[in-house]
């Protein structure tokens, strides 16, 4: 059925008047479900996985993470997350997640539980041993066949990651240089 311009405008005006009288425009439907995050504490943070640095909203209840989603107000991702970031909840709540130091000695077929103090002391001792063993003071340059002072560690690499912020990156690279380490890499380039 063809509708004239006048009739179309009349219909629109009647519909608008109906909405104004009923007062329903903009009201939430009585059938709308309650938000699943209602009453939870929310905090913002950054995804630890890659250098994109997407923003997250983490919801907690009694100190336990119960929901993680993209932060719609974050300028990088505006609420979206890749599948890895979208599965972060499963990292926070996972019975298979290791929460203690587990050590397997060279040649052993079993894992032993160790303390953090034991692990940190052992890492420090191994780093010191590697540094002393592989520290090079001089090297002959193939171009001119002359010997130059180099003072560098060749048996160690420092690997950083996207989870580090500016200040952590600064300290991390300072520490590497102080050790004499010249091989510095970033997880996202591997
Ligand atoms: S959500 Fe995905 S793209 Fe964003 S920072 Fe995490 S891993 Fe990178």
Domain ranges of the chain: 41-92, 101-189
Centre of ligand 1 to C-alpha 76, Å, is 10
For ligand 1, atom 8, which residue shows the shortest CA distance?
Answer: 50
Do the domains at 41-92 and 101-189 have one common CATH topology? no
Instruction: Enter the CATH code of domain 101-189.
Output: 3.40.50.740
Atom of ligand 1 nearest to the CA of 56: 1
**Pocket of ligand 1 contains residue 55 by CB under 6 Å:** no
Centre of ligand 1 to C-alpha 42, Å, is 20
CATH topology of domain 41-92: Phosphorylase Kinase; domain 1 (3.30.200)
Number of other residues whose CB lies within 10 A of the CB of residue 59: 19
- For the chain, 190 residues long, give each residue's pLDDT as a single digit of tens: 566 666 666 666 555 544 444 445 555 566 777 778 888 999 999 998 887 889 999 999 999 999 999 999 999 999 999 999 999 999 888 999 888 999 999 999 999 999 999 999 999 999 999 999 999 999 999 999 999 999 999 999 999 887 787 899 999 999 999 999 999 998 777 6
Centre of ligand 1 to C-alpha 40, Å, is 24
**Pocket of ligand 1 contains residue 70 by CB under 6 Å:** no
- Residue 179 vs residues 155, 156, 167: alpha-carbon distances, Å: 11, 10, 18
**Pocket of ligand 1 contains residue 162 by CB under 6 Å:** no
Atom of ligand 1 nearest to the CA of 77: 4
Q: Are 54 and 88 in contact (CB under 8 A)?
A: no
Q: Is 71 exposed, middle or buried (0-12, 13-18, 19+ CB in 10 A)?
A: buried
**Pocket of ligand 1 contains residue 49 by CB under 6 Å:** yes
pTM beyond 0.85, yes or no: no
């Amino acid at each position: 059925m063809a509708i004239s311009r006048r009739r179309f405008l009349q219909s629109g005006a009647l519909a608008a008047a109906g909405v104004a009288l009923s007062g329903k425009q903009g009201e939430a439907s009585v059938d709308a479900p309650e938000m699943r995050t209602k009453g939870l504490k929310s905090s913002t943070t950054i995804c630890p996985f890659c250098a994109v640095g997407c923003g997250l909203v983490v919801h907690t209840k009694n100190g336990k993470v119960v929901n993680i989603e993209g932060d719609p107000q974050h300028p990088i991702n505006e609420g979206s997350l890749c599948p890895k970031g979208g599965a972060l909840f499963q990292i926070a709540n996972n019975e298979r997640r290791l929460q203690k130091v587990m050590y397997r000695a060279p040649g052993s077929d079993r894992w032993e539980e160790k303390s953090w103090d034991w692990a940190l002391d052992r890492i420090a001792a191994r780093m010191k041993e590697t540094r002393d063993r592989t520290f090079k003071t001089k090297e002959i340059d193939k171009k001119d066949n002359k010997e130059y002072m180099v003072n560098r560690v060749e048996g160690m690499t420092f690997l950083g990651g996207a989870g580090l912020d500016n200040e952590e990156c600064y300290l991390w690279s300072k520490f590497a240089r102080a050790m004499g380490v010249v091989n510095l890499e970033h997880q996202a380039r591997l």
